[in-house]
């Protein structure tokens, strides 16, 4: 089949745009990540004198870095529409965020849609696969205090012990409030067949759009971060939660990510932007942690129910293009998540100015020494 001139021009434009975006992303990383590290090296005396202020500044820088990643998708037309409970209502409280996992772009989507949720991004901790430690962003996550978990039965018990120790050492000392994890333990396409076999053997529901979650990390987080007594108020559907005086982990935010036609965005697409503008849909449900059972068997059942509900939500979304209404709602309400282009440009400009500043400083000292 002959290629028309119009098709050739379209392909050429897409390739050129992808090349330019990749070059910008590389430059962005080369100035932003070293600048983040150097700022925090210079601020080490503050860490000793006033740890709270140090981690506040680190959190702001961390949020800006995540905003840069969000900007790559935002400027490519990869936007987000949100459904369900309004998580801004609990943004100042401690919460555990449970997310379904389909592709590498899930993390980028969360980096984007949590940008407008108050202090959440700068005070959150991520649980991610250990391979992420060896990416360009790994040094940032290490400094921020995220936890890298190794998958597989051979490492499972040891990793849960290390997770508990990590939470006890870093979570409260760095004033973290939200902790994000993917309980499925891997991408949908990699775990679906194994999960379905397990479900068949144990008389559990057959799931296509999610996999059965693993209990370990969720149980450790709840045991470590939940206060002995919880007095959280259930997240009402029609009321805004302004304040909660309880200490410790107070909420579980069940987050479901859905892509049109079930075609997830991966990190390569996010960076290169060769896919047409796409709206990703994110659904939230908020549960008071006092309603989450502590016993392993009951907690397993509760966690399975959340992912069975995710299956129903995604089935409804793929059939209708929308999530179903919450209980008590006649019609599902969606909210378009927006970012300020001016703010994103400002952060990107600051990153490149910082890179230039550090270059001049190092060049000056080099000439002084040599």
Q: What does the pLDDT look like over 101-148, one tens digit per residue? A: 999 999 999 999 999 998 999 999 999 888 888 888 899 999 999 999
Burial class of residue 242 in the structure, from the number of CB atoms within 10 Å of its CB (0-12 exposed, 13-18 middle, 19+ buried):
exposed
Confidence band, pLDDT 50/70/90 cuts, at residue 2: low
3-class DSSP assignment, residue 288: strand
- The predicted pLDDT at position 229 comes to 56
For CA atoms 173, 174, 179, 182, the dihedral sign is negative
User: Is 153 within 8 Å of 216 (Cβ atoms)?
Assistant: no
3-class DSSP assignment, residue 199: helix
Q: What does the pLDDT look like over 245-294, one tens digit per residue? A: 447 999 999 999 999 999 999 999 999 998 999 999 999 999 999 999 98
The H or E element containing residue 116 is none
| Residue 234 pLDDT greater than 50, yes or no | no
Distance between CA atoms of 291 and 257, rounded to whole angstroms?
Answer: 23
Instruction: Give 328's DSSP letter.
Output: T
| Residue 243 pLDDT greater than 60, yes or no | no
Mean pLDDT for 236-246 is 39
Mean pLDDT for 72-82 is 95
Asked whether residue 233 is domain-assigned, the answer is no
User: Is 177 within 8 Å of 93 (Cβ atoms)?
Assistant: yes
Residue 328, Ramachandran bin (φ over 0: left; ψ between -120 and 50: alpha; else beta)? left
Nearest-10 crossing angle of helices 51-74, 105-113: 110
Q: What does the pLDDT look like over 165-214, one tens digit per residue? A: 999 999 999 999 999 999 998 898 888 999 999 999 999 999 999 999 99
What are residue 99's DSSP bridge partners? Answer: 255
Distance between CA atoms of 285 and 306, rounded to whole angstroms?
Answer: 10
As for how many domains the chain has, the answer is 1
| Residue 237 pLDDT greater than 80, yes or no | no
3 or 34: whose pLDDT is higher?
A: 34
Asked whether residue 235 is domain-assigned, the answer is no
- The predicted pLDDT at position 94 comes to 95
Range(s) of the domain holding residue 300: 5-227+247-324+331-369
Confidence band, pLDDT 50/70/90 cuts, at residue 16: confident
Asked whether residue 105 is domain-assigned, the answer is yes
- The predicted pLDDT at position 306 comes to 96
Confidence band, pLDDT 50/70/90 cuts, at residue 62: very high
Asked whether residue 241 is domain-assigned, the answer is no
- The predicted pLDDT at position 212 comes to 93
- The predicted pLDDT at position 230 comes to 45
3-class DSSP assignment, residue 240: coil
| Residue 235 pLDDT greater than 70, yes or no | no
Q: What does the pLDDT look like over 318-370, one tens digit per residue? A: 999 999 998 878 888 899 999 999 999 999 999 999 999 999 999 988 888 87
Tokens for 299? 């907690």
Distance between CA atoms of 74 and 79, rounded to whole angstroms?
Answer: 6
Asked whether residue 148 is domain-assigned, the answer is yes
**Which residues 6+ apart lie within 8 Å of 72 measured at CB?**
21, 25, 28, 108, 270, 271, 273
Asked whether residue 239 is domain-assigned, the answer is no
60 or 130: whose pLDDT is higher?
A: 60
- The predicted pLDDT at position 332 comes to 86
Whole-number average pLDDT of the chain: 89
């Amino acid at each position: 089949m002959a290629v028309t001139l119009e098709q050739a021009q379209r392909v050429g434009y897409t390739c050129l745009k992808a090349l330019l975006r990749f070059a910008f992303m590389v430059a962005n990383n080369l100035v932003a990540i070293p600048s983040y590290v150097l700022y925090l090296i210079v601020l080490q005396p503050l860490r000793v004198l006033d740890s709270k202020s140090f981690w506040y500044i680190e959190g702001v820088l961390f949020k800006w870095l995540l905003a840069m990643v969000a900007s790559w998708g935002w400027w490519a037309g990869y936007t987000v529409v949100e459904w369900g409970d309004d998580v801004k209502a609990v943004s100042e409280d401690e919460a555990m965020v449970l997310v379904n996992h389909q592709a590498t772009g899930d993390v980028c989507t969360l980096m984007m849609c949590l940008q407008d949720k108050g202090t959440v991004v700068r005070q959150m901790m991520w649980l991610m696969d250990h391979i992420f430690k060896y990416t360009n962003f790994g040094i940032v996550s290490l400094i921020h205090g995220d936890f890298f978990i190794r998958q597989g039965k051979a490492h499972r018990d040891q990793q849960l012990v290390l997770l508990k120790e990590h939470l006890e050492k870093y979570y409260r000392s760095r004033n973290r409030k939200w902790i994000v994890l993917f309980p499925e333990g891997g991408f949908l396409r990699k775990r679906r067949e194994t999960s379905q076999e397990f479900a068949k053997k144990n008389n559990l529901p057959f799931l296509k759009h999610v996999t059965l979650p693993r209990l370990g990390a969720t149980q450790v987080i709840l045991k470590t971060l939940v206060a002995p007594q919880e007095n959280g108020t259930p997240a009402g559907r029609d009321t805004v939660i302004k304040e909660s005086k309880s200490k410790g982990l107070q909420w579980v935010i069940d987050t479901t990510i859905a892509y049109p036609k079930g075609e997830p965005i991966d990190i390569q697409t996010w960076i290169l932007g060769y896919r047409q503008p796409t709206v990703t849909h994110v659904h939230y449900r908020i549960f008071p942690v006092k309603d989450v059972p502590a016993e392993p068997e009951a907690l397993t059942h509760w966690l399975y129910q959340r992912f069975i509900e995710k299956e129903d939500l995604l089935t409804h979304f793929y059939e209708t293009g929308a999530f179903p209404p919450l209980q008590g709602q006649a019609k599902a309400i969606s909210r378009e998540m927006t970012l300020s282009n001016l703010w994103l440009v400002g952060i990107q400009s600051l990153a490149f100015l910082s890179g230039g500043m550090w270059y001049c400083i190092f060049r000056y000292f080099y000439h002084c020494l040599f």
